Structure 1
Amino acid sequence: MTVTVEGPAPQQPQLLRSADTPLGRARVARGWSQDKAVRALILLAESWGWQIASESSLKVQFSRWEHDATRPGETYRVLLCAIYRTTPDALGFNRPRTDKPATTSKSLRERVGELEALVERLSGYLGAVEGVQA
C-alpha cells in the first residue's frame, strides 16, 4: 500500500521535553506540552470552582515547578495530582528538596572580597595598558 500526500509534507510536532524531575516526566508521559498542562490545570480548577493564578503566571510557575526551583502549594499539588492521575509521591512532592545550601553571610563577604581584588587587578592592568599607549 502506498500513501501519498498532496502539497507540502506536514511539519513534525515538536519533541516534548521537560526537566528530569518526577513532575516533568509525568507531563511528558501524558504527551502534553506545558501549555496543554496549564490549560488542563485551569479547566479543572474552574470546574471545581477554585481560584488559581492567571494562565501567564501558571506558565512561569509550571517551569519553576518542573525544574524544582520551587514547589507548588497545596492547592496546585491537588490539581496536579488530579490532571496527571497520580499521587503526590509519584510527582515527587514528598521527597526531600535537593536545593543548594543557603549562602551564608561569610561566603558572601568572601565573594565580595574576591570581586574587589579582581577589580583592583583589572584596574592595574588597564593602567599599565594606558601607560604603554601614552
Structure 2
Amino acid sequence: MMPEMTVAVDGPAPEQPQLLRSADTPLGRARVARGWSQDKAVRALVLLADAWGWQVASEASLKVQLSRWEHGGSRPNETYRVLLCSLYRATPKELGFDRAPQTAKGMRDRISTLESLVENLTAMLAAQGVQA
C-alpha cells in the first residue's frame, strides 16, 4: 500500500507557464482540449501525413495555416480536413467543417436581410409608440 501524499502551498498558486490559448472555434477548442500547443499540433499533422505518405506544407507554413483555420480566416482543403479529423478523432461537423464558406455575395445578402429585419422591427416599435 502506497503512503498518502499531500502537498502544501504557501500563498497563491503561481500562473501556469505558457497557458494554452486558441480562438473560440471548434477547431481551436479541439486542439486545446488535448493540451496541445499549435507547434505540437503541427508536428502531429506532419507525422500523420508522413505515416500516410501524404505531402503537406512545411511546419512553418502549417503553423500559419493552423492559426488561420482556427480563427476562421480560411478553411482547410480536403486533405487537411481529413488529417485534422483523424488527428483530433473528431467528425467534420465537430470541427466546424460542415458549414459552407461565406462568399462576398452571401455576406451582402445576409447583411441586407438583417437590415430589413431591423427596419421592420423599428417600424413595428414606432407603431406601438415605443421609441427605438
- Under TM normalisation by the shorter chain, which class is it? 0.5 to 0.7
CA displacement at 1:14 relative to structure 2: 1.2
Q: Which amino acid aligns with 1:47?
A: A
- Aligned counterparts of 1:23 and 1:50: Cα–Cα separation in 2: 21
In structure 2, the CA distance between the partners of 1:13 and 1:71, relative to structure 1 (3 Å rule), is same
Question: What residue in structure 2 maps to residue 18 of structure 1?
Answer: 22
- Aligned counterparts of 1:94 and 1:15: Cα–Cα separation in 2: 29
In structure 2, the CA distance between the partners of 1:71 and 1:51, relative to structure 1 (3 Å rule), is same
Count, aligned residues: 99
CA displacement at 1:12 relative to structure 2: 3.4
SS in 2 for 1:56: helix
TM-score (norm 1): 0.65
TM-score (norm 2): 0.66
Question: What residue in structure 1 maps to residue 63 of structure 2?
Answer: 59
- Aligned counterparts of 1:103 and 1:26: Cα–Cα separation in 2: 27
Q: List alignment gaps of at least 5 residues for structure 2.
A: 1-5, 109-132
Q: List alignment gaps of at least 5 residues for structure 1.
A: 5-9, 105-134
CA displacement at 1:103 relative to structure 2: 9.4
- Aligned counterparts of 2:90 and 2:39: Cα–Cα separation in 1: 20
Tell me the C-alpha RMSD between the 2 structures.
2.5
Question: What residue in structure 2 maps to residue 29 of structure 1?
Answer: 33
Question: What residue in structure 2 maps to residue 107 of structure 1?
Answer: none
Aligned match of 1:41 in 39, 42, 45? 45
The share of aligned pairs that are identical, in percent, is 70
Q: Which amino acid aligns with 2:89?
A: R
For the pair shown, the structure with the greater C-alpha radius of gyration is: 1
Aligned match of 2:89 in 85, 91, 103? 85
Question: What residue in structure 2 maps to residue 71 of structure 1?
Answer: 75
